[in-house]
Amino acid sequence: MARNTSMTTSINTADTPFPTLVWTENEQTHSLRWRSENGVQPPKRVVVADDTLTADSAFRLASEGTGILWRGDFQNARQLLQALARRTDRPSKKSHRKSNKPEPTMTEAFHLHRQAQSQRSRTLGMLIIPFDADHSVPLRRAPDIKLACNEAYGRGTEPYAASLRELLGVISAHEWRKRGVEIPALANAEGPQRIHPHYGVFAPVRTEYVPLVAQAPLPKLLATNSLAFDIGTGTGVLAAVLATRGIEKILATDQDQRALSCARENMVRLDLTDKVQVLEADLFPEGRAALIVCNPPWVPARPSSAIEFAVFDPDSRMLRGFLAGLAEHMLPGGEGWLILSDLAEHLGLRTRAELLEAIEAGGLKVVDRIDTKPVHGKVADTEDALHVARAAEVTSLWRLAAK
């Protein structure tokens, strides 16, 4: 059952720098700080609901942009979210009608796919959960998620509200952080080693690029100048691989605070702090190195969430910045390794000619290119809207040198 509603939401009031969720319940106005790590604003209309609310009614409200503040059983809320997802993913009647419109190009299909993902995220984000100041959830059968929320948000200071979908992402990130991702390239005498991603830091689950860095021939210059840079280190996985290859000093940079914390923790776990120094920087640290490695986001498009900054690079900013500054940060005789998928080319978002022109403009030449095919599940998923592009995708390590 959906109860009293509020018609307005106050945002960024004078009393708080945070957006505020406002609703009416039992004829009284209430408010909570609104939390969204992706910058999603709170819904402007809110209803209070419990276990009597049907999935169809919830879907209608969510599709209209009405927030559903949950007062029922927590596990029932999870089931309701699954029901909303099934309804959101159900093909519409329009999709079954014959149309005289031509099939969309791969670029058009990509943008339609992104629009559908964005709409799905908005709809599923309408199911809202209240939190106490210590990150506990005041609902029946709610799990203890305080540790997971502390990892993601830091110590709690005041009650707040957030979407259940975001909370489930926080819980999932906590599990990833706890168990880690096994990286075969980091195996040692003690057995397989793991990288532990933090919330908001992209997990190295697409690992076809890691063996490229583990196996590519190292520049001869490293024998006398054993210094490498890892640009945009993220979890620190590539810096760790370089360290295991015998490079004596690696400067790993990032500008995201979560990534910096994550990489530093992983270096401690792997006992590599004597070789890897994690620094805050936008692209390059000071100085020059014999080897500079960068695995930038592969697709030149706008991210819609914080975690997507690891996948989408608006206007190829990081890629172009790396190529433009690489030559001046390499020692004479050094190399730059660019790890890049060609998915953007198959999507029509960037051409091979544009990539080569950026390499040329940076005063660089291609020494070699080592290719590998992705092995993730979507490559074989013919139902995926972007299957044709994914099936043709190749990931490459470009060995670059100054002209």
The C-alpha atoms of residue 131 and residue 135 are separated, in whole angstroms, by 6
Least confident of 3-7, 104-108, 248-252, 330-334: 3-7
Q: Which of 119, 143, 176 is the last residue of a domain?
A: 176
Report the 10 Å Cβ neighbour count for 345.
19
Query: Does 56 share its domain with 202?
Result: no
3-state DSSP call for residue 267? helix
Q: How far apart are CA 132 and CA 157, in angstroms?
A: 9
- The answer to whether residues 317 and 205 belong to one domain is yes
Q: How many domains does the chain have?
A: 2
Q: State which of 176, 205, 224 marks the end of a domain.
A: 176
Question: Is residue 119 located within the same domain as residue 253?
Answer: no
pLDDT digits (tens, 9 = 90+) for 150-200: 999 999 999 999 999 999 999 999 999 999 999 999 988 788 899 999 999
| CATH of residue 275 | 3.40.50.150
| Enclosing domain of residue 268 | 181-402
Q: What is the mean pLDDT of residues 270-295?
A: 97
Whether residue 50 is found in the same domain as residue 85: yes
Together in a domain, 277 and 386:
yes
Shared-domain flag, residues 73 and 168: yes
Same domain for 391 and 337, yes or no, is yes
Residues 348 and 203 in one domain: yes
Residues 264 and 385 in one domain: yes
* pLDDT computed for residue 385 by the predictor: 76
Residue type, 107: T
Interhelix angle 55-63/106-124, rounded to 10 degrees, is 120
How much is the pLDDT for 276?
98
**Are both 52 and 190 inside the same structural domain?**
no
**pLDDT value at 129 more than 70:** yes
Of 176, 211, 237, which residue is a domain's last? 176
Cα→Cα distances 58→43, 49, 308, Å:
14, 9, 28
- 375-394 pLDDT, tens digit per residue, is 776 666 777 778 888 898 99
| Position with higher pLDDT, 151 vs 5 | 151
Cα–Cα distance for residue pair 298/231, rounded to 1 Å: 14
Specify whether the CB–CB gap between 120 and 53 falls below 8 A.
Answer: no
Residue-wise DSSP of 191-225: EEEEE-PPTTS-----GGGHHHHHHSPPPGGGGT-
Residue 97: per-residue pLDDT = 54
290 and 156 in a common domain: no
d(CA 29, CA 324): 55
Q: What pLDDT digit, counting tens, does each position of 293-351 carry?
A: 999 998 888 887 777 777 888 899 999 999 999 999 999 999 999 999 999 999 999 99
Do 99 and 241 lie in a common domain?
no
